Chain A
Amino acid sequence: MPPPARIFVIVPAYNEGRVLRASLKPLLGTGYSIVVVDDGSTDNTWRQLASLAVHRVRHPFNLGQGAALQTATSYALEAGAEYILHYDADGQHRVEDIPSLLEPVLRGEADVALGSRFLRRDDLQAVPFSRRLLLKGAVLVNWLLTGLWLSDAHNGFRALSRAAAQKIVLRENGFAHASEILQQIRTHRLRFVERPTRIRYTEYSLHKGQRFWHAFDVLVDLLIKRVFR
């Protein structure tokens, strides 16, 4: 087990000023290093971070969630991270799930562990029906585009080893990064597992989360990428 400070939790945040402190609070007591990337927010996100014991990095303008994740990853790797966790800023992930998500990576059994809300019955029941439908559609699209069949799609909760984080380089700045990560897991032949995690759906996270039409954006982004590369 490495010292907790070598485990970096990276949190992309775009206009999350209202909830950011509350989302980060449970993380602060864990001893993990926390990197928050303010993705060019126009609200008070940056100031909210000032008094917290977190690394804070700010994009000069909004670039997208994928870009923010990549920035945080580069920062964490330069700061000596041995393990990297992707964590959403809207408070939908649970800190209690981190150890079980990390476990297979810490043990060296996998290079990447992906959170899934479809592995345990009670996690699944926490997912609103319309979301289930949308997510299962995304699972299908991911399979068509990447050849990986997962139980969940676009779950932002992931754990990566340092080597995996160095190999996966995100070029999709927008929301297509979730599929891009899977593509790169495949091209780099990384070992991955899915681990059960609970998503806390709040009115806020449902509102901020990917809306239905985002799915089309993502699809278009990925198709365009196939053409222009």
Chain B
Amino acid sequence: MTPIQFLLIFVALAILFLYLRHLRTRLLDRMLLSLLALGAVILVVRPDWATALAQLLGVGRGADLVFYLGLSGLAFLWMGLYSRQREMDVRLTELARRMAIFEGEKPKSKPRKPKAKRP
């Protein structure tokens, strides 16, 4: 095992640990991430498997395949986060709006009548 393999395995397991420990999300998400981490560790330990798979798909090196898939995955993640962000914005706006209207102040004096003359 080379040092980089140790490092990558450490990173994958650390992310998995932090995710499972601190983000109590749905079971499905947790299983998915565990599988991803497992896959990552396997590919780090046996890079030749990635290369074999890559050649099967018409990509030269295993690292390239991982790069392409990783990028696509990130794009998906970004889209998900972005649409979530927009949802949050809508909720935040609605909350601020209710608050603003609730605390709104009516005119202290009555609006002047049309053509009222000033003394």
Contacts and interface: CB of A to CB of B under 8 A. Distances in A.
Interface of A: 4-5, 28-34, 37, 51-61, 63, 67, 70-71, 74-75, 78, 171, 173, 228
A29 B97 contact: no
A90 B80 CA distance: 39
A19 B3 CA distance: 66
Interface string B85-110: 01001100100110111011111111
B114 interface: yes
B10 interface: no
B3 to A, nearest CB: 43
Interface in B63-119: 82-83, 86, 89-90, 93, 96-97, 99-101, 103-116
Rank and list the top 3 A-B pairs by shortest CB-CB distance, nearest first.
A57-B104, A53-B107, A31-B114
B101 A74 contact: yes
Contacts of B108: 51, 53
B119 to A, nearest CB: 15
Contact of A31 (B82, B104, B113): B113
10 contacts: A4-B114, A53-B109, A53-B112, A57-B101, A57-B103, A59-B97, A61-B96, A67-B93, A71-B101, A74-B101
Interface of B: 82-83, 86, 89-90, 93, 96-97, 99-101, 103-116
Contacts of A59: 96-97, 100
Contacts of B104: 55-58, 75
A25 B78 CA distance: 49
A59 B100 CA distance: 5
A47 B83 CA distance: 37
Given A63-B93, A67-B97, A74-B101, 9 more contacts: A29-B116, A33-B111, A53-B110, A56-B105, A61-B96, A63-B96, A67-B96, A71-B100, A75-B101
B111 A31 contact: yes
A153 B113 CA distance: 34
Contacts of A173: 89, 93
Contacts of B110: 53
